[in-house]
């Protein structure tokens, strides 16, 4: 686990509420970003790399959409560059601030990099979600 100076909502030694953990994991793009960050050995990624990987996870999930009648069919005609830009903007303005407010990561807006801090309780549920969602 990564060490962090200062106080956060999800300190390594504090048990976050399940409400907070599930709220953070409730959005698929936030989950996909966390999947990618959790896989990085140093927990660091650019916002651009995050967006690219979120789109990649969405494409993997879209392949399963045909088998799930409750989901709408994927937009196979979407321009990949437009899709990545849409995801990048959503990450910067919605998901990264929410994760940063919870103390899960730091977003350096000048360098457009993200440092994931992790937390055992969150990672336990994140790994479970990843297994269920991507298997």
Q: In what order do the strands lie in the sheet containing 113-116?
A: 44-46, 113-116, 105-108
The CATH number covering residue 91 comes to: 1.10.10
Helices within the chain (DSSP H only): 18-25, 28-39, 47-65, 80-90, 96-101, 120-134
Is residue 76 in some structural domain? yes
pLDDT at residue 76 in the model: 59
What is the domain extent for residue 41?
19-134
Is residue 98 in some structural domain? yes
Q: Is the separation of the CB atoms in 53 and 133 below 8 Å?
A: no
- Report residues of the chain scoring pLDDT below 70: 1-14, 65-77
In terms of pTM, does the model score above 0.85? no
pLDDT at residue 65 in the model: 65
Is residue 24 in some structural domain? yes
Is residue 13 in some structural domain? no
Is residue 45 in some structural domain? yes
Q: Considering its fold, how many domains does the chain have in total?
A: 1
């Amino acid at each position: 686990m990564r060490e962090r100076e200062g106080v956060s909502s999800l300190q390594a030694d504090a048990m976050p509420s399940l409400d907070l953990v599930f709220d953070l994991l409730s959005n698929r793009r936030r989950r996909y970003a966390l999947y990618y960050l959790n896989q990085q050995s140093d927990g660091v990624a650019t916002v651009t790399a995050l967006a690219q990987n979120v789109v990649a996870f969405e494409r993997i999930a879209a392949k399963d959409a045909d088998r799930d009648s409750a989901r709408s069919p994927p937009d196979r005609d979407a321009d990949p560059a437009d899709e990545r830009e849409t995801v990048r903007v959503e990450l910067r303005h919605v998901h990264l601030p929410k994760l940063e407010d919870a103390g899960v990561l730091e977003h350096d807006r000048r360098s457009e990099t993200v440092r994931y801090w992790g937390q055992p309780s969150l990672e336990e549920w994140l790994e479970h979600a990843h297994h269920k969602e991507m298997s």
